[in-house]
Amino acid sequence: MSNVAQEAARRRTFAIISHPDAGKTTLTEKMLLFGGAIQMAGSVKGRKAARHATSDWMALEKERGISVTSSVMQFPYEGRIVNLLDTPGHADFGEDTYRVLTAVDSALMVIDVAKGVEERTIKLMEVCRLRDTPIMTFINKLDREGKNPIDLLDEVESVLKIQCAPVTWPIGMGQRLKGVVHLITGEVHLYEAGKNFTRQDSTIFPSIDDPGVEAAIGAPMLAELREELELVEGASHSFDLDAYLRGVQTPVFFGSAVNNFGLQPLLDFFVEHAPSPQARATTSRDVSPTEGKLTGFVFKIQANMDPQHRDRVAFMRICSGKFAAGMKAFHVRSGKEQKLANALTFMASDRELAEDAWPGDVIGLHNHGTISIGDTFTEGEQLSFTGIPNFAPELFRRARLRDPLKLKQLQKGLAQLSEEGATQFFKPMMSNDLILGAVGMLQFDVVAYRLKDEYGVEATFEPVQVSTARWVRCDDPKKLEEFIDKNAVNLSHDASGALVYLAPTRVNLQLAEERSPAVTFMATREHA
Q: Name the site residues for ligand G4P (rule: CB under 6 A).
A: 18, 20-26, 140-141, 143-144, 256-259
Contact at 8 Å (CB) between 111 and 18? yes
Residue 23 assigned ligand-binding role: yes
Q: 149-160 and 219-235 are packed helices; what angle lies between their axes, rounded to 10 degrees?
A: 20
Maximum Cα–Cα distance across the chain: 84
Residue 412 assigned ligand-binding role: no
Shortest Å, Cβ 110 to ligand G4P: 7
Residue closer to ligand G4P by CB (options 258, 442) is 258
Helices assigned H by DSSP within 291-440: 407-419
What contacts 24+ positions apart, CB below 8 Å, involve 443-450? 443/92, 443/93, 443/395, 444/395, 444/397, 445/60, 445/64, 446/60, 446/68, 446/422, 447/414, 447/417, 447/422, 447/423, 449/60, 450/303, 450/304, 450/413, 450/417, 450/422
Residue 375 assigned ligand-binding role: no
Residue 87 assigned ligand-binding role: yes
Shortest Å, Cβ 141 to ligand G4P: 4
SS (H, E, C) 51-89: HHHHHHHHHHHHHHCCCCCCCEEEEEECCEEEEEECCCC
Residue closer to ligand G4P by CB (options 67, 295) is 67
Residue 86 assigned ligand-binding role: yes
Residue 20 assigned ligand-binding role: yes
Residue closer to ligand G4P by CB (options 201, 403) is 201
Residue closer to ligand G4P by CB (options 61, 381) is 61
Residue 309 assigned ligand-binding role: no
* Whole-angstrom distance, CA of residue 414 vs CA of residue 402: 15
Residue closer to ligand G4P by CB (options 137, 140) is 140
The alpha carbon of residue 35 and the mean position of all alpha carbons in its chain are separated, in whole angstroms, by: 20
Residue 46 assigned ligand-binding role: no
Query: 61 CB contacts (<8 Å, ≥6 apart)?
Result: 67, 68, 69
Residue closer to ligand G4P by CB (options 118, 224) is 118
Shortest Å, Cβ 21 to ligand G4P: 4
* Whole-angstrom distance, CA of residue 75 vs CA of residue 268: 14
Helices assigned H by DSSP within 355-441: 407-419
Residue closer to ligand G4P by CB (options 20, 247) is 20
Residue closer to ligand G4P by CB (options 16, 332) is 16
Q: 422: how many CB neighbours lie within 10 A of its CB?
A: 23
Shortest Å, Cβ 138 to ligand G4P: 10
Shortest Å, Cβ 85 to ligand G4P: 14
Shortest Å, Cβ 326 to ligand G4P: 36
Residue 335 assigned ligand-binding role: no
Residue 21 assigned ligand-binding role: yes
The torsion angles phi and psi of 399, rounded to 5 degrees, stand at -80, 135
Looking at residue 248, the DSSP 8-state letter turns out to be S
The alpha carbon of residue 200 and the mean position of all alpha carbons in its chain are separated, in whole angstroms, by: 33
Shortest Å, Cβ 268 to ligand G4P: 19
Contact at 8 Å (CB) between 26 and 286? no
Shortest Å, Cβ 185 to ligand G4P: 23
Annotated binding site for GTP: 18-25, 86-90, 140-143
Binding residue positions: 18-25, 86-90, 140-143
